[in-house]
Structure 1
Amino acid sequence: MLQIDRWKRVLIFGICLLGLLYALPNAFYARVEAHNDAVAQIEATGVETPELAAARDGWPSWMPSHLVNLGLDLRGGAHLLGEVQVDQVYKSRMDALWPELRRALSDARDTVGSVRRVASPDGVLAIEIGNADQMAAATEIVRGFSTPVTTLTGAGQQSLAISTQGATLTIQLSDAEKAVTDDRTIQQSLEIVRRRVDEVGTREPTITRQGEDRILIQVPGIGSAAELKELIGTTAQLTFNPVVGTTADPQAQPGVGQTIAPSIDQPNLFYILEQSPVVTGEDLVDAMPASDENGLPSVNFRFNPTGARAFGAYTSANIGQPFAIVLDNEVISAPVIRSAITGGSGQISGSMDFDQANQLSILLRAGALPAELTFLEERTIGPELGQDSIEAGRISAIVATGLVAAYLIASYGLFGVFASIAVAVNVILILSIMSMMGATLTLPGIAGIVLTVGTAVDANVIIFERIREELRRAKRPFRAIEDGFREAMSAIMDANVTSFIAAAVMFYLGSGPVKGFAVTLTIGLVTSVFTAIFLTRLMILTWLEWRKPVQLNL
């Protein structure tokens, strides 16, 4: 067992050298990070400025440039906990359903009589029909818009809950449909928040669901929680609504199915709009910052085929009428339709600078949040605190490794030196694997690395103690070492397998820092087994072949 083939020796030393090579960029973190950012920006824009070229050339292109990503507690950044207002989606669903129901019921006017929407709570659609004795016929028409709920828990239930009272028909989402809608809303919000954060080029954000209706957002490297809130909290809901009229009274009461929105350019002008839009930002496929015909900042947008058809049909039927471009309940502009717009593209211009135009295009590309995010918790961690954490973690790792090495050398002499080298290589391999994976290192992750130092030492101690036992039986050094490694193998594997199971449970059931600890612990378990069983054995065997000792004092 102690004999190692030449190709295995080359492989073991090769893995160690490769690990050192991939861990090396972390020793020059700022330089390599600037190199990576410059390369990414040059590839994305195709523009190479002298500053970008200097940053790119600050690290050799032939060297590995993967880094261990630093978490929020090490790098500084922003932490937000937001609650998704899912009730708003119920209202939007009912508002979107009304135009279709109005057309369907109007087609049956001879039976159900006149149709009008009456006031009702948010999320509830109340319709009054002229012929109360034909409520069954009206209910049957509405039921045609209900669909089966497609989940196991909602099997056999419909998406709409319909009730009647006198001449009024009340429609709302069923409980099963609300549960499905809530889950879909949270998932959609998660994806949109992730896309918005990714658009600004931040590194390794943590965006996860917390509980039923909350989202945890942690973004390293961003300036402040306020900056992150500005990016995420803006819903960027773009709609194109028919204009009913204008007013100077902000307290004016619009009719049922209508809404009032202020003009973004004229403080004393308010537009009364149809609540149901012609098209929405969901029909956008692209949005880019640009300049209008006067050279002022603007945003060019383009619809998908569905949006282009709806917009073209509306503008064709309403030439000479105004329509409003509404962003987050503010009217950006309300031009008069001069001709049919069938090309599927348009332009937003107004009082914005180029930075605002770029920010608006980012938000529109990412899409609108389906519901408002209310921030319950916000925290900013400064870069200085992150640097202090890095320094504290570095010192703790060095001190722990140094004390362990001193103990090993004091207890086992030369073999303790071999074990100390193996422990140092173990830490290097952990960093190299995390760099290649693009894993994120947090303070608990540093604790995981320090813990694996102890795990690696434990494996070496088990091996050395088994060798001592074999030497007490008067075995020759070569034979004692061979038997010691063989007898220690089962104990080492059992200890690491149980630790691996614990790490796996923490990874799958934990979140955030707990997962970071589990990742570094798992990697450390693998590398500690490699260094203890293969690297330490190779160093001992090389020494045995060189010195050929007759007896061994351990």
Structure 2
Amino acid sequence: MLDFPVWKRIWVWALTLIVAACSLPTLVTQLGGTWPSQLPSPQVNLGLDLAGGSQLLLEAQPSDVAKQRLETMNETVRTRMRDAKPRIQIGDVSTANGRLSFLLEDPSQLDAAREALLPALNGTGSVREWDLQVVDGSRFVLSQTQQGLDQAVTQAMDSATEVVRKRIDALGTREPTIVREGAKRIMVQVPGLQNPQQLKDLLGKTAELEFKLVDTTALQSDIAQGIVPPGDEIVPYAPGTPGAGTSIAVKRLGGIRGDTLTNAQQTNEPQTNEPVVSIQFNGQGADKFGRLTTENVNKPFAIILDGQVLSAPNINEPILGGSAIISGSFTTQSANELAIQLRSGALPVKLTVVDESTVSAELGADSIHKGAIAMLVGTVIIVLLIAAAYGRFGIYADLAVIINVLMILGVMAVFDTTLTLPGIAGFVLTIGTAVDANVLINERIREERRRGRKPFQAVDLGYKEASRTIFDANITHVIAATLMFMFGSGPIKGFAVVLMIGIVTSVFTAVYLTRMWVALWLRRARPADINI
């Protein structure tokens, strides 16, 4: 147990110094200094409660999901009836009262129509998503099941959470906290962001991009009165665009959605140098976009974002290759934000801000100050008590506690971990845990000395026997911390992370590091007795 060859000493010292050195950038910057830019600078990120920042509570409406599913099923019904062999003729499709209904022109095709629709009723899962009824022998009525709607809402919220995460990450913000709350809410916490307006603007937009053909037969006077030909819909121009304040009629079906985009970047238009957004479709989207522009040369098509027209350019020639430019009186910032939204994907459901709060940096600094005082006072008292109780062995334990704190910070910095106020509480707890290990070892050495063992034997047995108890106790702590991390959220996770790191470093410093120091002193001094 007390055999430390040169290679082992080098390994222990190297690990200790390297990990402890990783804490220096954080300590220097937190104390107001400047860390040299030429050197590596792993940093411990501060959570919302320490660094200040913004918190938003976003909420979705399940009715929006139901509306989107109706529109998707509308397109599916038309496609399946058109692709059936022979083609099944149907009348206008109605989506009134949250149900989708249509009339067969030929009642003899009833069985064929039912057979064509059955695969779409269950979707891709095992839950039946739609109920089908046949009324008067020729009218089909499809209504959404509650289980199917609940499943769709859950999937939409999972997708929305991921889209929110991608958008915030694209801003370069470090360590945001994004968690689901209940069935239809998402909590977003962004440390260091004092003005939440940019975040609200970014997350409040669905970023649903569509390309739809403009119906040039619709009269502007009729559009102003809300009258359009069957199969059309009215879409207003976005504020700030040349057509702001007016609307146009577009074909409701047959367009292209932005879910086939693979990339979007802010750039400048070569001729005018105005900010625009360059987009790229995947193979499927490129084919559909190329076919749409090829079949409709010399016709206008509308670029629609979140239900508002950005522009309605004329298709002068087929646009092949899957690339296009979106223009719309952008600034550089607004074009970049749109590119971020399109790259991260459209939100499957619109999110509204139902609650927001801002934590000032001063409040976070006060939390750090008080937490540091608590940790410092606790550390000083423990250091003095241990040194007084165990002499040289107590001093070794004190040095181990100090190095333990530096190693915890170093590990957190290397793994880009966030420190919260509960994390500081975890710091204080791990200091006590580290000291507890040294107390067990030193008391066991005392016990062996009282039994008449020589100093070398007493120390050897003391470390060997106490280590078993230390490992058993800390395994229990690790299990508890792991469960808190897996099932907890926010502050609980912050506490668990620091606790797990502290357990590992405290065992290393208390068992291995102090044992090496004691072993080297014993071999060098060969004392006849030890004061412990």
Equivalent in 252, 257, 269 of residue 275 of structure 1? 252
Q: Structure 1 553/169 Cα, relative in aligned 2: closer, same or farther at 3 Å?
A: same
Q: Distance in 2 between matches of 1:161 and 1:457?
A: 66
The answer on whether the counterparts of 2:204 and 2:351 sit within 8 Å (CA) in structure 1 is yes
- The match for 2:81 is 105
> Which letter does structure 1 place at the counterpart of 2:515?
R
Is residue 2:262 matched to residue 1:285? yes
- The match for 2:358 is 380
Q: Distance in 2 between matches of 1:537 and 1:113?
A: 86
- The match for 1:236 is 207
- The match for 2:134 is 164
- The match for 1:77 is 53
Q: Structure 1 100/246 Cα, relative in aligned 2: closer, same or farther at 3 Å?
A: farther
- The match for 2:101 is 126
Q: Distance in 2 between matches of 1:164 and 1:32?
A: 74
Please identify, of 247-256 and 197-206, the stretch whose mean Cα deviation from structure 2 is larger.
247-256
SS at match of 1:239: strand
User: Residue 454 of structure 1: CA displacement?
Assistant: 0.2
Please identify, of 304-313 and 189-198, the stretch whose mean Cα deviation from structure 2 is larger.
304-313
- The match for 1:263 is 237
Q: Structure 1 145/469 Cα, relative in aligned 2: closer, same or farther at 3 Å?
A: closer
Q: Which runs of structure 2 are paired with 1:127-166 in the superposition (5 Å)?
A: 127-131=102-106, 135-147=110-122, 149-150=124-125, 154=126, 158-166=128-136
> Which letter does structure 2 place at the counterpart of 1:10?
I
The answer on whether the counterparts of 1:452 and 1:521 sit within 8 Å (CA) in structure 2 is yes
User: Residue 112 of structure 1: CA displacement?
Assistant: 6.4
- The match for 2:154 is 183
Q: Distance in 2 between matches of 1:282 and 1:113?
A: 30
> Which letter does structure 2 place at the counterpart of 1:143?
L
SS at match of 2:364: helix
Is residue 2:295 matched to residue 1:312? no
- The match for 1:41 is none
- The match for 1:60 is 38
Q: Structure 1 305/497 Cα, relative in aligned 2: closer, same or farther at 3 Å?
A: closer
SS at match of 1:475: coil
RMSD: 2.7
Q: Distance in 1 between matches of 2:309 and 2:516?
A: 74
Equivalent in 519, 530, 552 of residue 497 of structure 2? 519
The answer on whether the counterparts of 1:192 and 1:369 sit within 8 Å (CA) in structure 2 is yes
Q: Distance in 2 between matches of 1:307 and 1:112?
A: 27
User: Residue 424 of structure 1: CA displacement?
Assistant: 0.6
Please identify, of 174-183 and 260-269, the stretch whose mean Cα deviation from structure 2 is larger.
174-183
The answer on whether the counterparts of 1:118 and 1:128 sit within 8 Å (CA) in structure 2 is no
SS at match of 1:362: helix
The answer on whether the counterparts of 1:162 and 1:170 sit within 8 Å (CA) in structure 2 is yes
User: Residue 386 of structure 1: CA displacement?
Assistant: 2.0
Q: Which runs of structure 2 are paired with 1:300-339 in the superposition (5 Å)?
A: 300-339=278-317
User: Residue 203 of structure 1: CA displacement?
Assistant: 0.6
Please identify, of 540-549 and 214-223, the stretch whose mean Cα deviation from structure 2 is larger.
540-549
**TM-score normalised by structure 1 residue count:** 0.87
> Which letter does structure 1 place at the counterpart of 2:67?
K
- The match for 2:14 is 14
SS at match of 1:182: helix
> Which letter does structure 1 place at the counterpart of 2:6?
R
SS at match of 1:301: strand
Q: Distance in 2 between matches of 1:31 and 1:345?
A: 50
- The match for 1:95 is 71
User: Residue 356 of structure 1: CA displacement?
Assistant: 1.3
Is residue 2:524 matched to residue 1:549? no
SS at match of 1:118: coil
Q: Structure 1 336/458 Cα, relative in aligned 2: closer, same or farther at 3 Å?
A: same
Equivalent in 116, 122, 130 of residue 92 of structure 2? 116
Is residue 2:417 matched to residue 1:439? yes
The answer on whether the counterparts of 1:117 and 1:257 sit within 8 Å (CA) in structure 2 is no
* Identity %, equivalent residues: 40
User: Residue 299 of structure 1: CA displacement?
Assistant: 1.6
Cα deviations across residues 301-335 of structure 1 (Å, max 9, x unaligned)? Answer: 22222222222222222233322111111111122
User: Residue 193 of structure 1: CA displacement?
Assistant: 1.2
SS at match of 2:214: strand
- The match for 1:400 is 378
SS at match of 2:93: strand
The answer on whether the counterparts of 1:303 and 1:345 sit within 8 Å (CA) in structure 2 is yes
SS at match of 1:339: coil
User: Residue 246 of structure 1: CA displacement?
Assistant: 5.5
User: Residue 135 of structure 1: CA displacement?
Assistant: 4.0
User: Residue 521 of structure 1: CA displacement?
Assistant: 0.7
Please identify, of 127-136 and 499-508, the stretch whose mean Cα deviation from structure 2 is larger.
127-136
- The match for 2:198 is 227
Cα deviations across residues 51-101 of structure 1 (Å, max 9, x unaligned)? Answer: xxxxxxx3333xx32112222222222222223334423322332332442
- The match for 1:42 is none
The answer on whether the counterparts of 2:301 and 2:314 sit within 8 Å (CA) in structure 1 is yes
Q: Distance in 2 between matches of 1:90 and 1:18?
A: 56
Q: Distance in 2 between matches of 1:505 and 1:335?
A: 57
User: Residue 506 of structure 1: CA displacement?
Assistant: 0.8
User: Residue 288 of structure 1: CA displacement?
Assistant: 1.8
SS at match of 1:59: coil
- The match for 2:24 is 24
Q: Structure 1 391/91 Cα, relative in aligned 2: closer, same or farther at 3 Å?
A: same
> Which letter does structure 2 place at the counterpart of 1:378?
E
Q: Distance in 1 between matches of 2:82 and 2:237?
A: 34
Q: Whose RCO is larger (CA < 8 A, sep 6+)?
A: 2
Cα deviations across residues 145-173 of structure 1 (Å, max 9, x unaligned)? Answer: 445643xxx2xx55442122234312244
Q: Structure 1 92/492 Cα, relative in aligned 2: closer, same or farther at 3 Å?
A: same
The answer on whether the counterparts of 1:287 and 1:299 sit within 8 Å (CA) in structure 2 is yes
> Which letter does structure 2 place at the counterpart of 1:117?
V
Equivalent in 376, 388, 411 of residue 410 of structure 1? 388
Q: Structure 1 526/472 Cα, relative in aligned 2: closer, same or farther at 3 Å?
A: same
User: Residue 437 of structure 1: CA displacement?
Assistant: 1.5
> Which letter does structure 1 place at the counterpart of 2:273?
G
The answer on whether the counterparts of 2:131 and 2:145 sit within 8 Å (CA) in structure 1 is yes
User: Residue 134 of structure 1: CA displacement?
Assistant: 5.2
User: Residue 420 of structure 1: CA displacement?
Assistant: 0.6
User: Residue 503 of structure 1: CA displacement?
Assistant: 1.0
- The match for 2:437 is 459
SS at match of 1:121: helix
Q: Distance in 2 between matches of 1:5 and 1:106?
A: 81
Count of residue correspondences: 524
> Which letter does structure 1 place at the counterpart of 2:418?
T
The answer on whether the counterparts of 1:238 and 1:326 sit within 8 Å (CA) in structure 2 is yes
> Which letter does structure 2 place at the counterpart of 1:17?
L
SS at match of 1:515: helix
Q: Distance in 1 between matches of 2:299 and 2:307?
A: 20
Q: Structure 1 310/33 Cα, relative in aligned 2: closer, same or farther at 3 Å?
A: farther
Please identify, of 266-275 and 352-361, the stretch whose mean Cα deviation from structure 2 is larger.
266-275
User: Residue 551 of structure 1: CA displacement?
Assistant: 2.5
Q: Distance in 2 between matches of 1:128 and 1:389?
A: 67
Unmatched runs of 5 consecutive residues or more in structure 1: 36-57
Q: Distance in 1 between matches of 2:262 and 2:3?
A: 64
Q: Distance in 2 between matches of 1:226 and 1:478?
A: 67
The answer on whether the counterparts of 2:28 and 2:34 sit within 8 Å (CA) in structure 1 is no
User: Residue 34 of structure 1: CA displacement?
Assistant: 8.7
Is residue 2:340 matched to residue 1:362? yes
> Which letter does structure 1 place at the counterpart of 2:306?
D
SS at match of 2:29: helix
